[in-house]
Amino acid sequence: MNFSRISNKIINLKNQIYFDLGVPFTKINSNCKNLIFMYHGISTNRSNPFNARHTYIKDFENQIKYFKKHFNILTVKDFFDHKIDDSKLNIAITFDDGYLNNLQYALPILEKYQVPASIYTTCLFEEDNPYIWADFLQITTFYGKDSYEFGGELYYKKGSQYLRFIDHKSLLSIVKNEKPDYEFKKEIYHKLNDVFERFKSIHFSFWKLMDHDDLIEISKSKYVTIGSHGFYHNNLGVLKLENAENEIRSSKITLENIIQKEIEEIAYPDGSFNEKLINSATRLGLHYQLGTENNEINNFKNHPNIKGRKGIYQCSSWGNQLL
């Protein structure tokens, strides 16, 4: 172990001690500003073999308790509308993807501490493949064969990814940026379905999304606002504008018909958006729009309809995840 790793471990340990002692966030991170936090799933295990998007349930509860004590927790709408408390750090809490574990594990904690959150869901429950393509790909890559052909091109497995033989680009990246339409995803679903079927029950909580009934149930909570996460979890910013608009419109209509409430919020999958899409979504009635921390959000700092978020990942202790 080199010096920098030892130093980082000491810093992380010190930070976590501060959190455990209840030291205010602004004294731990003096550069912080008002934040919107982005979660995905809640897990009953600390880790899984695929990624760190699912937060351990005990860490999540510790974070919510800390938020409740030290922060002014707002709905996303109130955050946009600047209903802030100048004496505190103001935050909003969001979840992307619409996992069933949001209903099973996150909702009881939100209700226990009376904390609001927005949950952004796709409409993939309407499809024959009711799971997010990236989750499907990660599971099938882990268990799949050494090579496959997609779109007439050969891919080989290296570590946890399939890479395109001609240029070594990852299939994950190609789906996000080169071939974002759902038709290419359908081919991946078809080619790898036998692998997924063999192992999906083992990782049920990792990929399972809420369906109609689940969405109706969770939307009844006064602490939950449902928003759009696109229809197919396509990267909307790289689709043709017409196709992206159609997907947003279909998502909004579908969700409104299910929960019988107006949908005014959207979180762009993978933070993929552009200025034309922001304006189109606003015209469709999605006045509260969110990116991620890994996109061009800085180019839109002064746009009234979109804000960035701070992602929470299962990479460290519950306190260090917030930094």
3-state DSSP of 219-255: HCCCCEEEEECCCCCCCHHHCCHHHHHHHHHHHHHHH
**Mean pLDDT along residues 307-319:** 90
**How high is the pLDDT of residue 143?**
96
- H helical segments located in the chain: 3-20, 25-28, 57-70, 76-80, 100-101, 107-112, 133-143, 171-177, 182-199, 204-207, 212-219, 241-259, 275-283
> What is the predicted pLDDT for the residue at 323?
83
Q: Where in the chain are all domains bearing CATH 3.20.20.370?
A: 25-127+209-322
> Among 95-99, 173-177, 221-225, whose mean pLDDT is lowest?
173-177
Beta-carbon contacts of residue 160 (< 8 Å; ≥ 6 apart) = 50, 138, 141, 142
> Above 80 in pLDDT, residue 230?
yes
Mean pLDDT for 57-62 is 97
Class of domain 25-127+209-322: alpha beta
Question: Quick check: 163 and 155 in contact, CB under 8 A?
Answer: yes
> What is the average pLDDT across 65-91?
95
pLDDT, residue 248, reads 97
pLDDT of 50 strictly over 90: no
pLDDT at 295 over 70: no
pLDDT value at residue 1:
52
- The single-letter DSSP state of residue 210 is P
CA distance 281 to 265: 9
Q: Looking at residue 188, what is its pLDDT?
A: 95
Q: pLDDT at position 318, please? A: 86
pLDDT value of residue 168: 97
Is residue 58 scored above 90 in pLDDT?
yes
Instruction: Report the pLDDT averaged over residues 147-166.
Output: 96
Q: Which pLDDT score, from 0 to 100, does residue 294 have?
A: 57
Residues 321/46, Cβ–Cβ less than 8 Å: no
Predicted pLDDT at 203? 93
Per the structure block, which two tokens stand in for 146? 């050494």
d(CA 278, CA 254): 20
Integer-rounded Cα radius of gyration of the chain: 20
Q: Using alpha carbons, list the distances in angstroms from residue 192 to 71, 100, 149, 185.
A: 45, 23, 11, 11
Answer yes or no: is pLDDT of 296 > 70: no
Statement: residue 306 has pLDDT above 80: yes
The whole-chain average pLDDT of the chain stands at 93
Looking at residue 5, what is its pLDDT?
79
